Structure formats: structure tokens, C-alpha cells
Amino acid sequence: MQYEFSIQVLPEVAGNPDMLQEQVSKQNKIPIEDIRHVEILKRSIDARQRVIKVNLKIRVYVHEEFTEKPILLPDYPDVSNAAEVVIIGAGPAGLFAALKCIELGYKPIVIERGKDVRSRRRDLKAINRDHIVHEDSNYCFGEGGAGTYSDGKLYTRSKKRGDVNRILRLLVGFGATDQILVEAHPHIGTNKLPGIIAAIRNKIIDHGGKVLFETRVTDLKIAHNEIQGIITHNGDIIDAKKVILATGHSARDIFELLYRKKVEIEAKPFALGVRVEHSQQLIDQIQYKCPTRGPFLPPSPYSIVKQVGGRGMYSFCMCPGGVIAPCATSSGEVVTNGWSPSKRDQPTSNSGIVVELRLKDFKDFSEYGPLAGMYFQKSIEQRAWHLAGETQKVPAQRLVDLTNGRVSTGLPETSYKPGLSSIDMSEVFPQFIYETLKEGFKAFDKSMRGYLTNEAVAHAPESRTSSPVRIPRDRKTLEHTQIKGLYPCGEGAGYAGGIISAAIDGEKCAEACVASLS
């Protein structure tokens, strides 16, 4: 017999199968000799009280042996000679759209401006060590998209958009640990994700699809408001009646192309701010309310939201045991982001702390029409680059100094490898963002006592939180509202916010695209 229970236990019990089995036996009055196995289905930490507990959803096998069932991938057909669908972008939206096309019997041609996931590493080293930005190969562009080398977080609130568990199971099938099916906030890690991305690409190619690297789309062939194909940077023309546009939130050249060709797009609100680094030990002490977290608790994350003067300020993409990375996509700009390895074992934690923006905030850039938000974003990145010394160093300020409007006389070494320049954040941001940050950090400290410390350092800017542009599409067909055969997809088009939601949207767009071909 199998029984499912929800149970709350101490961390050391959750981490020890024998102790957990004893606890299950005691609480549910099941003789321990009758229990063959306790399977953990879901796990989350409750740190709200002094005594930290772990919430578990479990399946108990009583008088029945447990047999682990492997997670199998779909039986993908060979689509070498099938009808083709062009997919622009090899991030999670594009890759999962390609897999879904194959599953449904269609041949995907994936076009990626950047390099394959392994080759990207040389260019990441160049930006970190030599301050060289490769515009088609960086933390944002290349196989796997921005998430591959920016943490691999798999948590999403977008559960109404599609089957989150399906995407997680596919990732396990391609090599991810099955613990992502269990944890409340699953995470793969930047060191593990590249192998999974490579396995997905190999599956696409092995079943007849194509993946073209270092191939940048420079034009769309459109006739009578219908897509006809694409043109690449080397002049090649690929004819196509169906194009899934999954280029990510930083593909500014694509937004410019659409605007230039009078393809309907619209400005979209987003958020912008700084990336703050603390010692992981301090965050653990604040969150777990104890001097050290011990061996049975993971490095603690945090999530915090405040209203400051009627404007939202919140943590974004928090990375426990992680580092801050340079994520510019063009020379003449600086951008920060964060990531954690799979073990989250670095001594520091970091999080984007961002301020809610509204369309009216972009009024000084109204001449750019629907690209106003993009140019607002770009202006801050370029200003930060200039202020910090016109390299990949970033403006930085100790946190208490920021709230007091005082330039930091010295900065500690942080995980951001290209380096820091001591700059007053009032010079980096418009006044309304700066004032919101100043007051917001004081409010943060009221919820997380000890958060506001001069040992913490703000790095600027954290500006690529989401796309500043939305590419409109029909709610039912998912086709662009103006251009037939064009399917705006994923984070860059304004319909996703991370790996899981982008993958879900990729599958949905592929299904809609194939349905129109059937």
C-alpha cells in the first residue's frame, strides 16, 4: 500500500532517511518494520519561527517495495524530411519550441546569433578578465540564452500558463538532478546547465532538426503582412512561412528592426536598480535567526517587497552562495546580473534590488516611440560605463553610504571580477530611482534587521530584469496581431520571465504554429 502525507520535521530529520522513517512511523502509528520506503515528493523550509522546520510531502510504501521509475523523454520522431518551422533564438523558449516541433512531426531550424554553449565560455572569460564585450556571444547571447550562465533558476509563479512539472521532467530527462522535482525553489546551477543544454541541442539534431550558430538575423522578408522568410548577416535567405521569434530580452537590434519595418511593437514597463552583495553568513543569520545554519540547511535566500512613495521596490533573481557577473551586450555599457553554482557554496550572496518603472517614466525618450523604455535603459547603462572608467568596472557604493548620500571612501573586494569604481549612485540614476533606493533600503532593514550594513555593496546597474518591449500577439492563435506567420515568443517578446515560463511559452508557440500548418 502507498500513502501520501504532509509532515513537518526538523532539518536533521529531513536529511536523514532513518530518522525520517522513525518520525513517519511515530506520527502515523505505522509499525516501522512495515515501512519499506519513504519517498519525498516536495520539500520546503519554514524559517518563520525560532525553531526552523522542513515541510515535506511524502509517499510512504507500506508492505510494498519501492522501485524507482526512470524519467523518459518523449519518443521523438525523425523529422529530416518534414515541413519546416524557423525558430530565431536558442534560449529556453527557442529550444523547447524546437523539441515540441519535433514531437509534433515538424522540422525546426534554430538560428542562434551566438556560439554553442561550450564555446561561449571563452567570451565570458574575455569580459571578466579583459573587459572585452563580444556583442553576439556573452552572458545574454549564445546557446541556452541568458539563464545558462546566469544561475539556472527554475522557480516560476506562472503556473497558470502551462505544465511546469512537464518542463522540469524534460530537464531531468536531459540530465538534470531529479531533486528539481522536489524542491520548492528548484535550481540547476550555472556549472550544470551547459551539459543539459548541449544534450537538448544534440537531441534536436539527432532527430533531423537544424541548429545554426553564429548566425544573426538582420532582416525579415514580409509581403502583404505575411512572413516569407529571414535574411542573415552573411546575406543568406531562408524561406519560411512560419517563424517563431524567441530572441530574448536583450536583442535590441531585433526591436530596432521591427520598429524600422513598421511591425507593431509597444513599450512595456520593467524594473531597474542595483545588485547588492552581502556575506552569505550574514543572510543566513538574518533568515535562520541563528549564528550558523548548520549542515542540514541550505544557504538561505531572501525575498522582499516594499512600497516606497507609492512605487514598488523588490528583490529580484536572488543568488545564495553566488557571484555577480558582467552582462553587457555591447561596448560602451555596463550591466550586472548574478548566478550561483549548483552547490551554492560561494561565501557571498547577491540579489537584484530593483525599482518599478512606469511608461510615463520614459517621457524624455518619447522620440523613440515604443522603444522609449529601451533607450531609457540603455542611457543608464552607458552613463554607468562612463562614470566607472569606460571599462567593465561598475559604479559601486557601500549600502549605508548610499542611504546617507555619501561616496564610499573605500570598497571591499566583491565577487564582481572586472572591478568596482566608488561612485555616488545619485550620478548613475534619475532622481526618482535614487530616492526610492535610499528610502527602500531603510525599509528593507526593518523587515530584515542587519540587512542595511556598510559591509554590503550595491553594484550598478541591474537593468535587464525583463524586456522593455512587448511584441503583441493574438491571445488565441499566438500569431503577431499584424504579421501572419510570425509568433512572438518568450521573454524577449514580453510573455515570460525566466527559464521555466520561457520554455512553457516556447512549447505553446510551437503548438499554435503547428496547428496552423495542419
Distance CA 479, CA 473 (A): 5
Strands across the sheet containing 107-111: 210-212, 107-111, 84-88, 243-245, 486-488
d(CA 425, CA 457): 12
Residue with cell 522540469: 168
Residue whose cell numbers read 535567526: 289
The model's confidence at residue 454, banded by pLDDT at 50, 70 and 90, is very high
- For residue 369, which of 227, 279, 265 has the smallest C-alpha distance? 265
How many whole angstroms separate alpha carbon 239 and alpha carbon 241? 7
Q: How many residues does the chain have?
A: 518
Residue 476: other Cβ atoms inside 10 A: 7
What pLDDT does 158 receive? 58
Which grid coordinates are listed for 395?
559604479
Q: Is the pLDDT of residue 282 over 80?
A: yes
Mean pLDDT of the chain, nearest integer: 95
E strand or H helix at 447 = helix 431-447
The pLDDT tens digits of the residues spanning 288-342 come to 998 888 899 999 999 999 999 999 999 999 999 999 999 999 999 999 999 998 8
| Among 352, 343, 353, 351, CA closest to 299 | 343
Q: To which residue does cell 550574514 refer? A: 282
**pLDDT tens track for 169-226:** 999 999 999 999 999 888 888 888 999 999 999 999 999 999 999 999 999 999 999 9
* DSSP character string of 266-321: EE---EEEEEEEEEHHHHHHHHH-SS---TTSPPP----EEEETTEEEEEEEEETT
Measure the CA–CA gap between 230 and 87, rounded to whole angstroms: 10
Grid coordinates given for 230: 529571414
CB 459 within 8 A of CB 279: no
Domains and CATH numbers, the chain: 2-62 (3.30.70), 84-265+469-515 (3.50.50.60), 271-462 (no CATH)
**What is the pLDDT confidence band of residue 160, given thresholds at 50, 70 and 90?**
low
Residues 6+ apart with CB under 8 A from 238: 86, 109, 111, 229, 230, 231, 232
User: pLDDT for 87-99, tens place per residue?
Assistant: 999 999 999 999 9
- Give 161's pLDDT tier (boundaries 50, 70, 90): low
What residues does 57 pair with on adjacent strands?
6, 42
Exposure of 517 in the CB half-sphere (CA atoms within 13 A): 21
**What pLDDT was estimated at residue 157?**
62
Q: What is the pTM of this model?
A: 0.95
Q: In this structure, what C-alpha cell is assigned to residue 121?
A: 565560455
